[in-house]
Amino acid sequence: MIDSNYTITLSDAIRQFREYITQNHGSDTATAQAYIRIADDLERYASEKNICALAEKAIQEYYCLVVGVPPFEAPPLKSKERPARAIRMIQDILHQEEPKRRYISHLVDCPSSYQAILSRYEALMKADQKSLGTIRTRSGRMKVFFIYLAEIKCTVLQTLTPKLFADFVSSLNDRYSSQGKASILYTIRNFFSYNEFSEMLTFDPLPFLSGLHSRKHERLPSFYTAEEVKRVLNAVDRSTPWGKTVYLMMLLACVYGLRSSDIKSLDFDDINWMRRTITTIQFKTHKEVYLPITDEVLFALLDYIKNARPKVETPKVFIRLRKPYIPYSMNDHFGDKIFPYFEIAGVDTKGKHHGLHSLRHSLATSLLDTGTPINEIAVILGHTSAASTKTYIWSDIEHLRIAALEVPEK
């Protein structure tokens, strides 16, 4: 497959990667299609950034952007493992090596002089009820900062100066994409938001970290029109158990803006059939949300429970359709299982997310476009108090099947 007698380009490597995946996984399998989508998006990224000739730089930047950690650190979430492996396989082909069956990610050690501080930061995040994934990701980003300080012989925070801090910020320009740089600086700003760290310095670092503007999904927006989302929903074959299941999941995402984690953790005790309401504690924010059950959601919910859900005793609404009949793990993601409905509906997903979260994004943007105040959108999505949600009436379901940008966290 790989000719070792010539140096190949990024486009060559991606083409050979597609051939390799097709040979080993077939052309029509979900696995093959998922890998090829990653390759296609990498090629678009390099072309749009005009760095096709700088293949290694393109691969490293894309890894940082998609996986969310510096190249080639361990993926912070299970959902990032496949993109990370695909990118590293393409890198192997670029170097005219056979793709490996398993990749050992770089384990970046924190300099010994900063290990205690990093451990304390992790403890504070845990006390603030941050998820393990968030703690792991932010910890990895702080290692980038601490390694830089150790390399310039700044072994304690008390000796950090404004100039050294500015030099670190500048050093990120040639090593990370704008998204990767912004992610690291956002994390450092969070780190210094804790007084016990900021008080170690002789200057205020926050002015260096103000004015950061980077959309969370800079490369992969998630906006679909109301008509597009309607077509995707209509593409679901609701005569099958899986069709009934995924249709209900998609409705919960696009009607209420529920996260995937909230859908998977939904309990029967959260449903009040008499009042036709869902009251649940959000998995990520630990905030309570109160949701009126629309007719369409009610019919889909009853259809799923009666005709799709296995008849087993468990408090979770959503469980696996095959033995063992257990609830879905928080590490289970449905992007690849939902994507075929975008294809059936003929909706263009190039350069966009196409999972449950894109439907949540759709709700936020659609509401904004129709004049809904930002604070109400934040409440609907569970970013602030849910009090006004109780009086917010979703009377037009067609205008709620939408898409776009996530409301940023405060």
SS (H, E, C) 223-285: CCCHHHHHHHHHCCCCCCHHHHHHHHHHHHHHHHCCCHHHHHCCEHHHEECCCCEEEEECCCC
Residue 374: CB atoms within 10 A of its CB come to 12
**Which among 348, 334, 187, 181 has a CA at the least distance from the CA of 263?**
334
Query: Maximum CA pair distance of the chain?
Result: 73
Count how many Cα atoms sit within 13 Å of the Cα of residue 377 in the half-sphere of its side chain.
23
Per residue of the chain (410 residues), give pLDDT as tens.
433 333 678 999 999 999 888 887 777 788 888 899 999 999 988 888 887 778 888 898 899 888 887 788 878 777 788 899 999 999 889 888 888 877 766 556 788 899 999 999 999 999 988 877 788 888 888 998 999 999 999 999 999 998 998 888 888 876 676 667 888 888 998 999 999 999 999 888 877 776 554 444 344 455 777 788 888 888 999 999 999 999 999 888 877 878 888 888 899 999 999 999 999 888 777 778 888 888 888 999 999 999 999 999 899 999 988 877 888 877 666 666 788 888 888 988 776 667 766 766 565 555 545 555 545 544 555 544 433 333 332 333 333 333 223 333 43
Phi, psi of 174 (to 5 degrees): -90, -5
Q: For 194, which DSSP code?
A: S
What would the two tokens of residue 269 be? 């005790």
Distance CA 301, CA 307 (A): 10
Residue 357: CB atoms within 10 A of its CB come to 20
Dihedral sign, CA of 158, 163, 167, 170? positive
pTM of the model: 0.46
Amino acid letter at 140? G
Amino acid letter at 243? G
What's the Cα-to-Cα distance from 227 to each of 108, 164, 341, rounded to whole Å? 46, 52, 14
> Edge to edge, what strands does the sheet with 277-281 contain?
271-272, 277-281, 288-292
Distance CA 223, CA 6 (A): 42
| Residue 146, H or E segment | helix 132-151
320 burial type by CB count under 10 A (0-12 exposed, 13-18 middle, 19+ buried) = middle
Distance CA 113, CA 157 (A): 10
pLDDT value at position 100?
Answer: 80
**Which among 343, 271, 260 has a CA at the least distance from the CA of 300?**
271
- Strand partners for 88: none
Distance CA 368, CA 201 (A): 41
Distance CA 338, CA 222 (A): 14
**Contacts with 139 (C-beta within 8 Å, 6 or more apart), sequence order:** 118, 121, 122
**Contacts with 254 (C-beta within 8 Å, 6 or more apart), sequence order:** 229, 233, 359, 360, 362, 363, 400, 401, 402
Amino acid letter at 153? K
Provide the pairing of β-strand 271-272 with 277-281.
antiparallel
pLDDT value at position 123?
Answer: 93
- Strand partners for 289: 280
